[in-house]
Amino acid sequence: MLPGQLASRARRWPPERKRRVISYEGRNRRTVNLLKTITFDRPEWTPCAIGLLPATWMKYREGLEQLLLAHPRLFPGFRAGTTDFDAVGSPLYELGRHTDCWGTVWENIARGLDSAVVGFPLADGSALASWRVPDPMVDDLFGPRPPWNEVRRQMDEARRRGDLATGGGLPHGFMYMRLYFLRGFENLMIDMATDDPHLARLIQTVEGYNAAVIRRYLDLGAEYMAFGDDLGMQNSLPMGPALWRKFIGPSYHRLLAPCRERGVPVYLHTDGHVVEIIPDLIAAGVRVLNPQIRANGLEGLQREARGKVCLNQDLDRQLFPFATPAEIEDHIGEVFEGLYLPEGGLMLLAECGPDVPLENIEAIACTLERLCHPPEPDE
């Protein structure tokens, strides 16, 4: 079946309403609610969350800690004194230059915010012949992978808590972005436009690494797989739907095939404008999609996603720094009203950088609590 045929077929597929991909038995209340949301099985509340960048913690410190303590429905289990306000957790959020296992060079000029790629190991196509391909069983992005028996132990422990055993094991930008992290964006676009014969080999190499990691996590018992790959730009796909379906879509379909075969739900975070390929992503096996509201538009998401795939809807992080609390409340209300269905299929996510005023983070928290009705932690 051709990629274009997959997209057409996806538009005809009904959502997986009330089909329990994972049993509710032995799960805690929040996990059951998540599963009901994913499968359109009438959840108790709309799952919602606020994401905070390391730089946001660095800026607001105790003030942000007090905000979280004031909203235990959104931050269950959070305790005072448990957060290192200066921790970053990843080399990509540390100042300086960092080389990953693929040979890509990253640079960070603002600690607590993400790095940007400045060195592309395959910018010269002739370098492909001598390029060292990382070992998917051993090499993580920066250093060795955690031991696989430890991965299994963590998943077993999650199940004992009543949570989902979540896997993934691939860095943000695992497929499409990795190609331009290696070749450079302009080179990759030219490769696609000219159908350069070396591109197929590069795609096969990156896909092979990803496929090995995905299968290992599934073999270890992962019940839910999470990935991230920013497929869009602000107003469009970078290469257009036709070239995406020719060069990127088939990899997605093959990579997610083991998840489809085992009934394991797939979560995909993807920034940018992707509305034209949402049917393709659904056909590939994505069951929870995390798209941006501004880049795709409410109408586009209503048309292509509402009721067809569970949305973990990214709220307008480009609005948050500049809006008044009242404008933020209106924005979240508009998105909620436009995408909500009583049977489920909607989650809301608000990511806040250090440019978002603390009063606006408070407005986001209050609005999410009012609209989504998350329970008290001890309920």
What are the contacts of 187-195 at 24+ separation with CB within 8 A?
187/120, 187/123, 187/125, 189/238, 189/239, 192/239, 192/243, 192/246, 192/247, 193/239, 193/243
**What percent of the chain shows pLDDT beyond 70?**
94
pLDDT for 13 beyond 60 = no
**355: exposed, middle or buried (C-beta count within 10 Å: 0-12, 13-18, 19+)?**
middle
Q: What is the pTM of this model?
A: 0.94
Q: How many CB atoms lie within 10 A of CB 193?
A: 11
28-76 pLDDT per residue, tens:
999 999 999 999 999 999 999 999 999 999 999 999 999 999 999 999 9
Q: What percent of the chain has pLDDT over 90?
A: 93
Gap between the Cα atoms of 239 and 237, Å rounded? 6
**How remote is the C-alpha of 34 from its chain's centroid?**
16
Q: Looking at this protein, which amino acid is placed at residue 73?
A: R
User: What integer pLDDT is reported at residue 103 of this predicted model?
Assistant: 98
Strand pairing report for 286-290 and 139-140: unpaired
How far is residue 99's CA from residue 91's CA, in Å, rounded to a whole number?
10
Neighbour count for residue 114 (Cβ, 10 Å) = 14
Q: Is the pLDDT of residue 355 over 60?
A: yes
Q: Which helix (H) or strand (E) holds 289?
A: strand 286-290
Q: What is the mean pLDDT of residues 256-272?
A: 97
pLDDT in tens, 239-261: 999 999 999 999 999 999 999 99
Distance CA 114, CA 102 (A): 18
CB 302 within 8 A of CB 323: no
Indicate the helix (H) or strand (E) that contains 14: none
Domain 3-372 -> CATH class:
alpha beta
Confidence of residue 378 (pLDDT cuts 50, 70, 90): confident
User: Residue 267 above 70 pLDDT?
Assistant: yes
132: part of which helix (H) or strand (E)?
Answer: none
Terminal CA-CA length for the chain: 48
Helix 176-183 crosses helix 185-194 at what angle (to 10 degrees)?
Answer: 110
Q: How far apart are CA 374 and CA 101, in angstroms?
A: 41
Which of these ranges, 125-129, 330-334, 342-346, 362-366, has the smallest mean pLDDT? 125-129
Reported as a single tens digit per residue, the pLDDT across 323-340 is 999 999 999 999 999 999
pLDDT over 70 (residue 14): no
